[in-house]
Structure 1
Amino acid sequence: MVTIAQLKQANPAMWQSAADGWLNLAKESEQACNDIHDQGRGPLDEHWQDRVGQAARGQLARDADTLEAGADIMRGVAMVLDGLTTSIEYAQRTLQDGLDLAARYGFDVDGQTGALTPNGSGDVPEGHRYGAEVSALLDEALRQAGQADRKAADELRRLAGTTGVTDPDVALNRYQGEASQTELSMYRGDIPDGSDPALVSEWWDSLTPQQQEQLKLSNPVEIAGLDGIPDGVKQELRGTDGKFDRVEFVRWTMEHWDDDNVDIDGENNCTNFASEGLHHSGVQYKGWNTLDDDGWGKSTAGGWGWDWLDRNGHTHTNSWGGAQNLHDFLNRNGSHEVPLSQAKPGDIIFFEEASDQNEHIKQGTIHHTAVVTAVTPDGDIRYTQHSDQRLNVSLNGREHHETTAEGQQNIRVVRVEPNWY
């Protein structure tokens, strides 16, 4: 159990330094993997066709896979340490606010037990009556620190057991994916449960403006639904224009990311999934029929699942189910692109092929759609998608994999702002 003395003495900068070190190691491993592919494995394919050359090629391929898997896992370690760093910083802010309140009300605080002793030096008459308020804030700080400590320790132990993993897909999709979830769960654990709105209000006010902004980006659903958070903050998260509920879009996306019931048979459903989420969060259909070139929506037949009509274009508009089409439709109808650095939950990200590496995707074509569901305090976008099904995965963490598999990508972020109703 974390004590007040331990939390006061904690030095998050040390964990941040460790996180940066692991991230640098991951980047070096990725570069070594690229060097093997560019300078070794590729030339071997072309010039060394005998048995010795093929054996060398096989070994280089295994070495590259090992380096790539190691990089993905090391990025996972960095995520966990980033989460621990920020969570302890939040907890220390809450603790300091509690200690300041204790001094104002005239209490001494035991650094080991947290017990309060009135000392008569407070500047509030009969401040000793407010002991419960002080204790609640101190307990909240220790709860925040304790949950982060436990989650980080458990996840780091799991990652320590992956030294023999050499399959890049397993390392990326399982271990890095779990680390990403752990990081976000630590931030979620920094938020009070809402049973005491007065405590929530005191906690929120104790945070710096930067920390408040970080939590709005990393956990918008929790913050928007918490009693004690200012109404203006909740409205900002949901969207001030009233066109649709951005928080509901994020919530629906995270609840249905692996739900095949929303699929259109025979299609890649990444864009259909984003459209379903937009509609469920309040975006209205545009146009009178699904053949409208500048419309967006599904027909009654499509809603009933009459997929045999789809080949005639009757179940949904082209903009509903096609990545390029949805991107273009949104930008023609009130929405606009924002820089990657300004992405926030409720935005849509589109993947555009920037190279000619993929023979199946023309250079300059937008071919994939996902939803921004969180942004971590260090600015890493976490996105959720369908086909392939992924929940809160790291854009930075998956960049090397996506580049290797699909070629260099341009990431386009669209802020949805409908203008047709």
Structure 2
Amino acid sequence: MQLTGLVEKYDKEIKLAVDIMTQYDVIFAKAKHSEEIKGISPQINEYHTIVLKEARHPLLGEKAVPLNFAIGDEYDALVITGPNTGGKTVTIKTVGLLTLMAQSGFHIPAEEGSQIGIFDKILVDIGDGQSIEQSLSTFSSRIKNIIEILAETTPSTLVLLDELGSGTDPAEGMGFATSILEELFNKGATLLATTHYSEIKAHATIREGFENGSMEFDQDTLKPTYRLIIGKGGDSQAFTIALKLGMHPKVIERAHKITYGESKDYSGSSAFSKHELDRQIAMNAKYVQKQKHVKKEEKKQDIISYNRGDNVKIPSLNQFGIVSKEANIRGEVEVFIQWEKYMINQKRLTLYIKAADLYPEDYNFDIIFESKEHRKLAKEMSKRHVEGATIEKNDR
């Protein structure tokens, strides 16, 4: 009892000492971990830009093929294609893990000059895309996860999606995947997705704000190199591998026509196939340059706060509209476009003419955005109580 009393007398000091020891223990543990992974302190930014130089998955260490990666500057959505076991999933896991590590105060296994953006949330849907049991229950569980991701996504969210749209009919899966990517992009998310769908690769080629990436594949050894190449889409290499392994060219030609709706000659040697693939990649690169807008004078633009009545341009729709409601907590602005109201993330808008330059200071915007019945009811309710009547007021 006497000893207990003596200890109790210094209760506060003991608790403080334990807390300090715990904090120092965590700091020393982080330092030791940094030495083991050869970690560096990345540059931190609030612009949701991620730049990784010679980065490695923290659990693979020196065995990992270094990853060079960038997003958030010239594009906010990266679609990664390529063969199975080529490293697509490891790539997006590496980006997610290193972002979490940096935001948790850890050093990351990468080279100096790497940058990590700060995100409020990192939302993930990564499943085992190589399971032979792509059943309805698997698809259903993934769709439920996607629904939650769509509901929680904001402009400060990093979204990682693996094999989006898999586990169901390919045509429907492709449609789902494209629509989901568009919705997440319109919400302002920073987005990484892996896929086998060539249609999504084509969509990312011409869609402003999207970029293609592919996992490199050595056609001579028929093995992946696990290197990410940003700027061109890859493919599953199924036809190339089949040709190398001795399948008759006529079978592959028939498969190519069924898949792509066009004829292609596979009767040459493997060297011819590689030459043909390189030629198509070069043609695709020219097409990409022709389709993309060259508007990269500024690396980053501050997000503009739009006011009711501002005339804005929506580049993705090639349309003009008028802001009817200012941004909500998700950064979504209600825009009046051709008599229809749309919710569009403020990052996807460009100010054309300010409301102050178009309308008098005391202008009543209800004349534009509200129906005659709505305005009449509002006027009546301003004079007296109207039994059973309700009206939604725009306070912005």
Q: Give TM-score scaled by structure 1 length.
A: 0.25
Specify which structure has the higher proportion of strand: 2
With structure 2 as the length reference, what TM-score do the two structures score? 0.26
